[in-house]
Structure 1
Amino acid sequence: MFLKSLTHWINKGLELFLVVCLAIMAILVFANVVLRYGFDSGIAVSEELARLLFVWLIFLGAVLATRQHAHIAFNSFLAKRTPTCRKLLVAISSLLMLVGGVIFVIGGWKQTLINMDNSYPVLGISYAWLYGTAIVFGVGLVLSTILNLWESVTSPTGFPGGDE
């Protein structure tokens, strides 16, 4: 029960963060377009900040989609299999996703360390904020995959996230 409540609040927090990122991006880009075409000026930080927010939006959105089972799946293929076979197939795909998540964490960590001293020209913040998304994504993917695998193994039908 605690785990379900915790994941619910983490999902809601991620959704809120994504909405805020998207709103800031939309405002920055719209304001910059109006200022450039209407007043021949612009907001200097808007391009860099919008690009950085877009990267965070994509990676955290992928973590959220993984947890909510919103990625493309072959449920019609799984539906024709026995629950034991479903669990085995979900376990195999989960193992591959875990490997991918670990690769993201390791690669993101290395890139973050390499680019720690480099900074954005206008924003002035470290590029670690860009490459750190890979670490956060990898950890989120690993945790989401473990939870999805647990749901699949404990489900009588073998479907992660509930009955199909």
Structure 2
Amino acid sequence: MHVCKLWIDRFLAFVCIVLCGSLTIIVTWQVVGRFVFSAAGAQSEELAKIMFVWLVLLGAALLFGEKGHMSIEILVDYFSSRWKTIFQIITSVLILLFVASILLIGGFDAVQRTMRQTNAAIPYISTGQIYIALPLCGAFSIFYCIYNIWTDIKVLVKSKAENTPSRED
């Protein structure tokens, strides 16, 4: 499972790097077009918006995999490391339920509902194709939730085994 996580991390990092680089080029082209040629293309502006949304969603999934997401641990800091791990597992399960229902299921629903709608600025891209980023982010986040729960349970079991006194007769 760890090897699978490493491959997904590399894939998401590569996609985010490509999106960020492409976004930089497109936005630079917009600025040059607007100030040098006094006209910026509507397609490049819409493409920049789409790429930004994809970058944010896939970057959020990658950050979630690195446990870099925001958490408020003001109360958890007062507990032992065992209880901190238990709270992390509970938090990951709650996030898993949220991500599965909102991003994955809701994302698939949004994709299905908007697959026939064309984009006004870029008519060869449907709105549903843009929204595919939602269930993709959900799927990657679900994988990371399951991975985090799995590693936290391993830590919990290992710490319990180390604290259990051995019987020597």
Letter in 2 for 1:59: L
CA–CA distance in 2 between the matches of 1:157 and 1:40? 64
The match for 1:114 is: 113
**What is residue 153 of structure 2 aligned with on the other side?**
153
Q: State the partner residue of 2:132.
A: 132
Residues 17-36 of structure 1 aligned to structure 2 (within 5 Å): 17-36=15-34
The within-5 A match list for 1:1-164 is 3-74=1-72, 77-103=75-101, 104-124=103-123, 125-156=125-156
How far 1:131 moved relative to its partner? 1.6
1:24-48 Cα shifts (integer Å, max 9, x gaps): 1111111111111111223332111
Residues in 2 aligned to 1:97 and 1:128: alpha-carbon distance in whole angstroms: 25
CA distance in 1, matches of 2:66, 2:132: 23
Shift of 1:156: 4.9
Contact 1:98 1:142 in 2 (8 A): yes
Aligned mates of 2:114, 2:23 — CA distance in 1? 24
Length-normalised TM-score, structure 1: 0.86
Instruction: Give 1:79 shift.
Output: 4.9
If the length of structure 2 is used for normalisation, what is the TM-score?
A: 0.83
Where does the alignment leave 5 or more consecutive residues of structure 2 unmatched?
159-169
Q: Over aligned residue pairs, what C-alpha RMSD do you find?
A: 2.0
Shift of 1:96: 1.1
- Which is worse superposed, 79-88 or 20-29? 79-88
**Residue segments in structure 1 that go unaligned for 5+ positions in a row:** 159-164
Amino acid of the residue matched to residue 137 of structure 1? C
Identity between Structure 1 and Structure 2 (%)? 26
> Which residue is equivalent to 1:162?
none
Contact in 1 for aligned 2:85/2:156 (Cα 8 Å): no
Question: Contact between 1:83 and 1:156, CA under 8 Å: does it hold in 2?
Answer: no
Query: For 1:5 and 1:77, how far apart are their aligned partners in 2?
Result: 34
Query: Take 1:142 and 1:121, find their aligned partners in 2: how far apart are those partners?
Result: 33
Residue by residue over 1:95-139, the C-alpha shift from the partner in whole angstroms, topping out at 9 and shown as x without a partner, is 210111112211111111111110112222111122211111111
* Shift of residue 4, structure 1, vs aligned partner: 1.9
